[in-house]
Chain A
Amino acid sequence: MKRLKPSLLQHLVDEHYANLYRFALSLARNEAEAADLTQQTYFQLATRGGQIRDLRKAKSWLYTTLRREFLRQRQVSGRFLSIDSDETPEWETHEVAADDALRSADASAVMEALTAVSDVFRETLVLFYLDDLSYREIAEILEVPIGTVMSRLSRGKAELRHCLSDALNNCHSPDNVVPMPGSTKAGQVNPDPCPARK
Chain B
Amino acid sequence: MNRDKARFILSSVRQERVDRNDPQVEAAMQLLADDPELQDWFEKSQQFDEVISERLAEVSPPPGLRDSILTGMEVSQSPPWERRALVSLLLAAVLTLGGFVSWMISSKNLNPTGERVATLGEFEQAMEETISELEGLDVLSSDPLELLQWLSEKSTGTVPQLSVAEELSTDRFVGCKVVKWRGHEVSLICMRQGKGRDEMPDLHLFTISADAIEGLVSDELIARSPETDDSTRKWSTAAWRSGGRVYLILAAGKHVEPRELLPFG
Contact = CB atoms under 8 A, between A and B. Distances in A.
Contacts of B14: 128, 131
Interface residues of A, number: 57
Contacts of B66: 13-14, 17
B59 A31 contact: no
Contacts of B62: 21, 31, 35, 181-182
Contact of A135 (B19, B53, B58, B76): B19
Interface stretch (B30-38, B95-103, B132-140): B132-140
A145 B65 CA distance: 33
Contacts of B45: 157
Interface in A2-56: 3, 6, 9-10, 13-14, 17-18, 21-22, 25, 31, 35, 38-39, 42-43, 45-47, 54
A116 interface: no
A107 B73 CA distance: 31
Given A18-B60, A107-B59, A154 B73 contact: no
Given A131-B14, A135-B19, A181 B60 contact: yes
Nearest to A108: B55
Nearest to B25: A135
Contacts of B70: 9-10, 13
Contact of A22 (B48, B59, B68, B74): B59
A35 B65 contact: yes
Given A18-B61, A181-B60, A13 B69 contact: yes
B41 to A, nearest CB: 11
Interface residues of B, number: 43
A10 B74 CA distance: 10
Interface stretch (A63-71, A72-80, A97-105): A97-105
B153 A134 contact: no
Nearest to A3: B77
Contacts of B11: 150, 153-154, 157
A114 interface: yes
Contacts of A46: 72-73, 76-77
Contact of A9 (B19, B44, B73, B153): B73
Interface of B: 7-9, 11-12, 14, 17-19, 44-45, 47-49, 51-53, 55-63, 65-66, 68-70, 72-74, 76-77, 136-140, 153, 175
16 contacts: A17-B66, A21-B65, A35-B65, A38-B61, A39-B65, A42-B73, A43-B76, A103-B47, A103-B48, A111-B55, A114-B52, A131-B14, A145-B139, A157-B45, A157-B48, A182-B60
